[in-house]
Amino acid sequence: MLGKLAFRNVRRSARDYLVYFLTMTFVTALMFAFNSLIFTRDIEEMFQVAGLMMALVGLATFFIVLIVAWLINYMVRFMLEKRSREFGIYLLIGMKKKEIARLYQRENILLGICAFLIGMVFGVLLQQVIMAILYSMIRMKYDLHMEFNRDCILMTAACYGGCYLLALLRSKRRFKRMNIRDLMEAQKKNEEVRESHEQRKRWLLPASVLFLGLFAAFIFLGKIQNGGHVLFFLVGIVLVIYLFYIGLSSWLVCYVRRRGNAVYRGQNLFLLRQFSSKLKTMSFTMGTLTALFTVAFLGCTVAMMFSDYQNKILETKFPFDVQINSADTEDDFADELEVIGESAKISEAYPYHIYARIQKGVQGGANGARTDGRIPEESQVNIWLSTHLKTFGRTYLNEDGSPNLKKIAKDSGQGAFYCKYDTYMKLSDYNRLRGMLGYPAVPLGEHEYLIHLKERIREEAGKLKDDITIRGNEGELQFAGYYAEPFSQDGHNGGDYVIVVPDSQEALLTPYYSELAVDIEGEAPFGLGNQLDHIGGPKSRNDTGEDEDIAGHKALPGNICCGSDTIVVMSVENMVRDNLIPEMKYMLSSLIFPCFYIGLVFLCVALTVLSVQQLSDSANYKFRYSVLKKLGMNRQEIGMVILKQLACYYLCPVFLAAVIGGSVSVFMSGKFIFYTGIRTAVINYFGLSFLLFFGIYALYFITTYVSFRRNVEV
Amino acid sequence: MKDYIRVCDVEKYYGSASNVTKAIDRVSFTVAQGEFVGVMGASGSGKTTLLNILSTIDRVTAGHIWYGDTDIAEMKENALAEFRKENLGFVFQDYNLLDTLTIEENIILAMTLHGRGKKEICGRCEEILGVLGIKDIRDKFPYQVSGGQKQRCACARALVNDPRLILADEPTGALDSRSAQTLLETFTDMNRRMRATILMVTHDAFSASYSSRILFLKDGKIFHELIRGSKNRRDFLNEILDVLALTGGEASDAR
């Protein structure tokens, strides 16, 4: 009998809480699809960085389990409150508390299992979509196939079950404390509007707004510099999120009490009161929703940033099919060419040198090891960039604004951003390489030089030419221009820049290290980079020992000069484009996917709470709207009031979240654009995530509005 | 006195073709301006249905209801809402006050929906709060005041826009006897001093005795009519009880 009752109750609550049910289904689907990212064997075998994806998706899952548990707990409690009368009747007709608790738990578990099973079906579909996206990102062919990985299903079930367990444990306790009268009366409680200290509490609103303004100002002026500030603002923001609503509600109450002019217009009085009383009873929930929305915004923005990086910058980072660096200036690259030749057809291979101006007698003392304070000629560009690029700030400046030559020498000796010496290239090499990349050749007069640099620093480096002097055989060389096409300047053709001089000036230059650029037909085979890394012998001598980065590539030996890139840096000895791009993309995906995952789930959870709140209150509203109808409002007018009421209720937390998330996002994007050199507007990433956000948001809103109208229509 | 409201051959059926319930069966009567009419009848006699039809909340199956020259049976939904706003005031058994608004705000809202100006609203509100003696509870919420006070607030709301007709559905139903008496006196006052036209539905003989004319409804038909004339209230009450005893209306009370 109890089973039957439970089943029937589930059917009813599934209808009442359709939004909740759908969200649980959707969350299951998302969980399954994203978990399958962890368990895909092909990828695991392919990349050494697969662990990163696992770790990040795992981390995301952890937070998601917590939040979903909160949702379930919230809904369980909420349904309990709404159905307290019914439970009172069960008690009245002689059911034991234990039995009711069991009945209720059984109902919830049934509901959960239904949502889980349906969710798994969608999950398999969603898995295909996500896999297809991932595979196309990493340039692999993906054949649609159902993958029922046992571990994946187990993990999804465990996460989902965990959420339920966390949530249901607490409901049992609630049943213990109940008595019939309380249960029967529970429903009447929320009709009471308690007002106290409104005059004082309303100042929380301007205080919150002021704090937000302060926060925005601090963040945009870059004044948040130490841990103390961060902690202060973090605690402040959390407080603001919660106190804002108390303040807003009190402000509205005071406005209505003061009988502001708006009160006397149309249905405003009704709306203002409705909204303020709802805010009053729900301020904590609203705060939590705001926090969820904010996290969702930030998650989406970060995902957008990195996916934009993937699309725009990554391709320009590896202009050559294969490029190999060797610290040995005598290297003829025979072994490497042999390895490449075995697995691909080489259409063009060009070994060349990068040069430095090492003056006899001062060798080894470059980059300001001299104490006379003069800027050494052999590293003048490095010093100029270290002291002028915004990336470095005041890191390499003395108190008085002069370059801190000692620090520059120390860092470049250890291979921080720039090499020990400025990097030069011969014009013939330069034009040959340009030819390989399909750029037109550049003419250069006998007494001229040019600088090829990264697009990102081109504007900032505009004055560089005025501050340096390049001496030639016969006096000073004239500056002939900047070039900024993608040119592999993360340590291969210099770091950030290379100075190109006519071949006739060769006598002044010393070979610094060797480079090999290879053009191959078709795509490079998978694993070529690894093979190249594993060529042993004295040629790939590595001054700093076996340096490997997280992906297992050999780092540049000796003088590392990867340039001033930050955030995403890829500087390896052997660059094979068709190996590196998928790998980089996979690595970025392991950031992008979890961020989207978190964003989506948080968004849906928050929207569900909003919807369910409104819909289950529609019994109360039905009465209120019938009164309005008797007061002479027609259907359209009531429809408008409902729309306004829902809009207020829905927009308020989003608005606050957009302000907080927006300022942080814009700040983050600004930094991201600055450091990566992507050309895009600062507002773009936030704007895009906002659009995505509003798509989902609109769906929930329309669903709620339609069912709400249906519920209150008399 | 000119016929103010005319109800002509009104019928209201519920249910489908195979199982029809006649809630109202060819009812006709008139209400004059400034009259206080009571409608009595047992549960299921059709009095609430009649009230719903008069108040435009429900529609007739057949017949006409004339408010002056307007036939509300012919009107469209939106026009009805407009009509309701302009012409009717309501007092219900369960008060129908909005729980999120204070007593005063409940009254203000009724006026703002009419699109009146702030000055007018404030003045009128002040006046009506005074007339009904609820000035000192104006800032309280409905849950904070007694049933009688709530009902007086509902009266104030019904009166505030000077409607043609005030419809009251068991207004004393949820009140204790003392509050009920006060409220009925308020009704009489509204009727005499403010010339409000009132139609009150009740099954309580005591409440009905405050009205000037009573229609008795049974099985959807009017079967009797009592007019108070110059009789005092006690005699009128006895007369009502006689009718009820005769018909077995509220049988258990009468026997």
Task: Identify the residue with better confidence: A406 or A545.
Answer: A406
Contact A266 B108 (CB under 8 A): no
Kindly state the average pLDDT of the residues A674-692.
Answer: 83
Which of A194, A269, A276, A625 to mutate to probe the B interface, most B CBs <10 Å? A269
Contact B98 A273 (CB under 8 A): yes
The per-residue pLDDT for A386 is: 85
A472-518 residue pLDDT tens: 888 888 888 899 888 888 888 888 889 999 988 888 888 888 889 99
Task: Identify the residue with better confidence: A369 or A323.
Answer: A323
Classify domain B3-254 at the CATH class level: alpha beta
The per-residue pLDDT for B215 is: 92
Contact list, A632 vs chain B (CB under 8 Å): 81-86, 88, 113-114
B66-78 residue pLDDT tens: 988 888 888 888 8
Of B77, B82, B105, nearest to A269 by CB-CB distance is: B105
Size of interface A-B (CB pairs under 8 A): 89
Could you give the CA distance from residue A279 to residue B130 in angstroms, rounded to a whole number?
33
The per-residue pLDDT for B38 is: 93
A23-49 residue pLDDT tens: 889 889 988 888 888 877 777 777 777
The per-residue pLDDT for A500 is: 92
The per-residue pLDDT for B7 is: 92
The per-residue pLDDT for A139 is: 67
The per-residue pLDDT for A538 is: 42
Could you give the CA distance from residue A344 to residue A340 in angstroms, rounded to a whole number?
6
pLDDT band at A413 (very low <50, low <70, confident <90, very high): low
3-state secondary structure (DSSP) of residue B32: strand
Least confident of A6-15, A207-216, A572-581: A6-15
Contact list, A262 vs chain B (CB under 8 Å): none
Contact list, A270 vs chain B (CB under 8 Å): 98, 100-101, 109
Kindly state the average pLDDT of the residues A273-295.
Answer: 89
Kindly state the average pLDDT of the residues A181-191.
Answer: 61
Distance between A633 CA and the closest CA of chain B, angstroms: 6
Kindly state the average pLDDT of the residues A192-213.
Answer: 84
Which of A44-48, A105-109, A147-151, A213-217: highest mean pLDDT? Answer: A213-217
Q: What whole-number percentage of chain A has pLDDT above 70? A: 89
Residue A542 clears pLDDT 60, i.e. is over it: no
Distance between A197 CA and the closest CA of chain B, angstroms: 15
Pick out chain B residues at pLDDT < 70: 1-3, 248-255
The per-residue pLDDT for B253 is: 44
The per-residue pLDDT for B254 is: 38
Contact list, A185 vs chain B (CB under 8 Å): none
- Using a CB–CB cutoff of 8 Å, tell me whether B82 touches chain A: yes
Of B77, B101, B108, nearest to A634 by CB-CB distance is: B77
Residue A14 clears pLDDT 80, i.e. is over it: no
The per-residue pLDDT for B236 is: 92
Contact list, A627 vs chain B (CB under 8 Å): 96-98
Least confident of A240-249, A418-427, B246-255: B246-255
Distance between B233 CA and the closest CA of chain A, angstroms: 32
The per-residue pLDDT for A315 is: 77
Residue A551 clears pLDDT 60, i.e. is over it: no
Could you give the CA distance from residue A353 to residue A439 in angstroms, rounded to a whole number?
20
Could you give the CA distance from residue A213 to residue A219 in angstroms, rounded to a whole number?
10
Residue A367 clears pLDDT 60, i.e. is over it: no
Contact A266 B141 (CB under 8 A): no
- Using a CB–CB cutoff of 8 Å, tell me whether B229 touches chain A: no
Distance between B82 CA and the closest CA of chain A, angstroms: 6
Could you give the CA distance from residue B155 to residue B91 in angstroms, rounded to a whole number?
6
Please calculate the CA angle A91-A96-A97 and round it to the nearest 5 degrees: 80
Distance between B73 CA and the closest CA of chain A, angstroms: 17
Residue A370 clears pLDDT 80, i.e. is over it: no
Distance between B52 CA and the closest CA of chain A, angstroms: 11
The per-residue pLDDT for A554 is: 54
pLDDT band at A155 (very low <50, low <70, confident <90, very high): confident
Residue A557 clears pLDDT 70, i.e. is over it: no
Average pLDDT, chain A: 82
Segment (H or E) for A499: strand A497-501
The per-residue pLDDT for A364 is: 45
User: In A, what residues contact B, Cβ < 8 A?
Assistant: 191-193, 256-257, 259, 261, 263-270, 273-274, 277, 623-624, 626-637
Could you give the CA distance from residue A631 to residue A108 in angstroms, rounded to a whole number?
41
Distance between A134 CA and the closest CA of chain B, angstroms: 52
Task: Identify the residue with better confidence: A315 or A252.
Answer: A252
The per-residue pLDDT for B198 is: 92
pLDDT band at A146 (very low <50, low <70, confident <90, very high): low
Could you give the CA distance from residue A688 to residue A683 in angstroms, rounded to a whole number?
9
Contact A631 B99 (CB under 8 A): no
The per-residue pLDDT for A566 is: 67
β-bridge partners, A497: A453
Could you give the CA distance from residue A163 to residue B190 in angstroms, rounded to a whole number?
62
Residue A292 clears pLDDT 50, i.e. is over it: yes
The per-residue pLDDT for A244 is: 92
A456-479 residue pLDDT tens: 888 888 888 888 888 888 888 888
Strands (E), B189-248: 198-202, 213-218, 221-227
- Using a CB–CB cutoff of 8 Å, tell me whether B20 touches chain A: no
Residue A105's nearest CA partner among A56, A168, A52 is: A168
The per-residue pLDDT for A552 is: 55
Enumerate residues 144 to 183 of chain B having a beta carbon within 8 A of any beta carbon in chain A: 157
Q: How far is CA A213 from CA A107, A241, A254, in A?
A: 47, 14, 23
Residue A597's nearest CA partner among A24, A23, A31 is: A31
Q: What is the ipTM of this complex?
A: 0.81
Take residue A477 and report the two structure tokens written for it: 């060389």
Residue A231 clears pLDDT 80, i.e. is over it: yes
The per-residue pLDDT for A346 is: 87
